[in-house]
Amino acid sequence: MIIESIRLKNFRNYESLEAEFSKNINIFYGDNAQGKTNILESIFLSATTKSHRGSKEREMIRLGEDEAHIRLYMNKKNVGHKIDMHLKKNNPKGAAIDGLKIKRSSDLYGLLHVISFSPEDLQLVKNGPSERRRFMDMELCQLDRMYISNLMSYNKALFQRNNLLKQLSVNRELFPTLEIWNEQLVRYGKEIIESRKKFIEELNSISVAKHLRLSIISFP
């Protein structure tokens, strides 16, 4: 998979930018606040529809503008693809793959694989379990389409169950339907937990070897 080029319009500090990338290693360098991280953020956004900084859409639009556009060209398995992201200050963002608008963010996962290391990653250690679950969800959604389906089904069942619990206070006749949503939560929750467990086991096997190698190099 290769990112060939990216075009930005009114994204962060860029009024307009066109960047071509090498098939090998690319290095961005410059003074502070010139926009190096902004380019990386636009790539991450094109892969996941989210900012690795946790920024909202309006925060990524250039000051004084109402919209921002990102267009990324990539090649995967000798097939070219175009990803378009359209950010709007007062409306939900839009995305398209090869000119076809997608309805859900999950439709984009898995096309462009990205791994991001940034100061924000320290929150994995500093923050609570929810931050670590979010990290696993982001990685697994790029690797496994079934995980996306199970996660979406789980969240839908959880939303419906929570709404039902609120309604039970005024309508006890709905109580028998609670078991249906409980079963859904157990079913999809089990699949999610097993996928996360496998992910952690594989990550541990890699990280232990890497940590050992770094320790030997640092402390001969």
Tell me what the mean pLDDT of segment 196-217 comes to: 84
> What amino acid occupies position 162?
N
Q: What percent of the chain has pLDDT over 70?
A: 98
CA–CA gap between residue 206 and residue 220 (Å, rounded): 21
How many C-beta atoms lie closer than 10 Å to residue 38's C-beta?
A: 18
Residues 6+ apart with CB under 8 A from 158: 185
What is the enclosing helix (H) or strand (E) of 71?
Answer: strand 67-76
Which of these ranges, 20-24, 96-100, 174-178, has the smallest mean pLDDT? Answer: 174-178
Neighbours of 199 (CB within 10 A): 16
Contacting residues for 136 by C-beta, under 8 A, at least 6 apart: 196, 199, 200
Domain 2-116 grouped into CATH 3.40.50.300 = yes
Helix (H) / strand (E) containing 193: helix 178-218
* Count of other CB atoms within 10 angstroms of residue 194: 12
**129-143 and 145-168 are packed helices; what angle lies between their axes, rounded to 10 degrees?**
130
Edge-to-edge order in the sheet of strand 14-20: 14-20, 2-11, 67-76, 79-88, 94-97, 100-101
For 26, the 3-state DSSP assignment is coil
Q: Is the pTM of this model over 0.75?
A: no
Q: What pLDDT, in 10s, does the model give residues 18-76?
A: 999 999 999 999 999 899 999 999 999 999 998 988 788 889 999 999 999 999 999 99
Mean pLDDT of 119-131: 83
Provide the residue ranges of all domains of the chain, joining segments of one domain with +: 2-116, 144-218
Residue 217 confidence class, pLDDT cut points 50, 70, 90:
low
